[in-house]
Amino acid sequence: MHPTATDPDAAAQTPVNLHSLGRVRVLQALTDAPALSRAELVRRTGLARATVGSVILELITAGLVRESADGVPSGQRAGRPPQLVSLDPEAGYAVGLDVGHDHVRVILTDVVGTSRWDRSETIAVDDDPERALDTAVRLITSAVQDTAVPPEKILGLGLGIACPVDKATGGLRAEGIMPGWVGTRPADVLAERTGLPTRIINDANAGVLAERRFGAARDCANVVYVRLAAGIGAGMMSDGRMLLGHLGLAGELGHVVVDLFGAVCRCGGRGCLETVASPAAITGLLARSWGQPVGSVDLAALLRRGDRGALRAVEDAGEAVGRALSTVVSLLNPELVVIGGDLVEAGEALLEPMRRTLNRGTMGSLHQRLRIVPSLLGDSAGARGAAALVLDGVPEQLGK
Ligand SMILES: [Zn+2]
């Protein structure tokens, strides 16, 4: 018997709303897999077949899921065509915002994560949070207007930011990283200005979410994502769970020391990986040797031309990342390392020395089955991962 409002004893013994729980379980299963038969939904949710049937009917009526034939030609079918249930992509939308050191990017996705709008603007972010947030709000407004998505269907805003994020408070640990942002609470500001429920995450953690859901790490439960950009950071998943650490600051790979006598880092340390392997560090090396400024665009062109100095600088950076990753791999035993960020455009010139150094620095059993691959999502990983943070809450949000 179902508890009802007039049955207080039953309600007291059953604090969980079982009906809602069924909806949430079905929506979760459909979030994890793009299309499922009713039999598969029964298996994955552990719900009775009749319950799955009534939940699907409700969700179809509410416009949240749809049912369609599986594509088998009718002549080859015996009996009733099998139907597959999937989320209706237009059941809801998410906004993903990536705030890097030198850009602001906004993506609007549907509920299955397909990008419907995507724009990036280059601006200097570190010292001017107001301008960066103004830019973000303007881009979000354009995204909603251009796509004509009903605002009430936008489930939330995810903010990925190139700065350590305190997991308990959502506050930034911006000292030395994004100096102008110390003491700011960008998620609160954006929630107020956009009216959207807003969640915040470090950009490398957003990257691992995105690669696992949409990119190179699909179906990988043990994965490290490394972002080699103006800042260097890592997002790590172990047995499918994100590793955030005590405060949420785990994965600061860019501030692992790789050269005791190296340059002083913006964090106050010396010889951090970021001082050796960020694109700015590499172009800085070339600028010193040539006596003239070298931009990041120039680096890509130099590598294509096979410039020996550029190749050497990238090779050394790859080795430094490989050394830092040796420790990560020895501690976490991932099956996959995904390399993202601007520098991955260097391709094998970067990845080959990285693999070589990593193999030298780890036990054979740790690296023999380890794959190191470039990101499939490229520059969009941060914004798509921030949107994925919202999409992760879809079953609970829509199933209530
Ligand atoms: Zn540092």
Gap between the Cα atoms of 296 and 294, Å rounded: 7
CA of 266 to the centre of ligand 1 (A): 6
Indicate the DSSP class of residue 136: H
The Å distance, Cα 234 to ligand 1 centre, comes to: 14
Interval between CA 276 and ligand 1 midpoint (Å): 10
**C-alpha pair distances (Å), 124 with each of 63, 101, 121, 179, 398:** 42, 6, 10, 12, 37
| pLDDT confidence of residue 78 | 59
Tell how far the Cα of 258 is from the centroid of ligand 1, in angstroms. Answer: 10
How close is the Cα of 270 to the center of ligand 1, in Å? 7
C-alpha 232 – ligand 1 centre gap (Å): 10
**What does the alpha-carbon distance between residue 162 and residue 379 come to, in Å, rounded to a whole number?**
13
Q: Count the Cβ atoms, other than its own, within 10 Å of residue 194.
A: 20
Q: Are the CB atoms for 329 and 337 separated by under 8 Å?
A: yes
Q: Measured between alpha carbons, how far is 102 from 119 in angstroms, rounded to an integer?
A: 14
As a residue count, the chain comes to: 400
Q: Ligand 1 center to residue 268 CA distance, Å?
A: 6
What is the CA(382)–ligand 1 centre distance, in A? 21
Q: How far apart are CA 345 and CA 301, in angstroms?
A: 11
| H or E, element range at 154 | strand 154-161
Q: What is the pLDDT at residue 76?
A: 53
Sign of CA dihedral 67, 88, 46, 33: positive
Q: If you write DSSP's letter for every residue of 261-297 in order, what string do you get? A: TSPBPTTS-BSBTHHHHSHHHHHHHHHHHHTS---HH
Per-residue pLDDT of the chain (400 residues; tens, 9 = 90+): 333 344 444 444 555 676 788 999 999 999 988 899 999 999 999 999 999 999 999 999 999 999 987 644 445 555 666 789 999 999 999 999 999 999 999 999 999 999 999 999 999 999 999 999 999 999 999 999 999 999 999 999 999 999 999 999 999 999 888 999 999 999 999 999 999 999 999 999 999 999 999 999 998 999 999 999 888 999 999 999 999 999 999 999 999 999 999 999 988 999 999 999 998 899 999 999 989 888 877 788 888 899 999 999 999 999 999 999 999 999 999 999 999 998 998 999 999 999 999 999 999 999 999 999 999 999 999 999 999 999 999 999 998 8
Q: Note the pLDDT of residue 177.
A: 87
Dist CA 73 CA 245 (whole Å): 51
Q: Give residue 333 CA to ligand 1 midpoint distance, Å.
A: 25
- Angle ∠(29,222,84) on CA atoms, nearest 5: 20
Q: What's the distance, Cα to Cα, between the start and end of the chain in Å?
A: 20
Is residue 223 within 8 Å of residue 338, measured between CB atoms? yes
Q: How far is the CA of 322 from the centre of ligand 1 (A)?
A: 17
Query: For position 335, what pLDDT does the model report?
Result: 98
Give distance in angstroms: CA of 123 to centre of ligand 1.
23
* Closest C-alpha to 103, from 378, 337, 366: 378
Considering only CA atoms, which of 278, 253, 248, 246 is closest in space to residue 263? 278
Beta partners for residue 36, in sequence order: 85
Distance 391 CA to ligand 1 centre (A): 33
Give the other-Cβ count within 10 Å of 176's Cβ.
13
Residues 6+ apart with CB under 8 A from 304: none
DSSP code string of 88-104: -GGG-EEEEEEE-SSEE
Q: How do strand 93-99 and strand 154-161 relate by DSSP bridges? A: parallel
* Residue 113: both structure tokens together: 């994560």
What domains appear along the chain, each with residue ranges and CATH number?
Answer: 13-87 (1.10.10.10), 92-207+382-399 (3.30.420.40), 219-375 (3.30.420.40)
pTM: 0.88
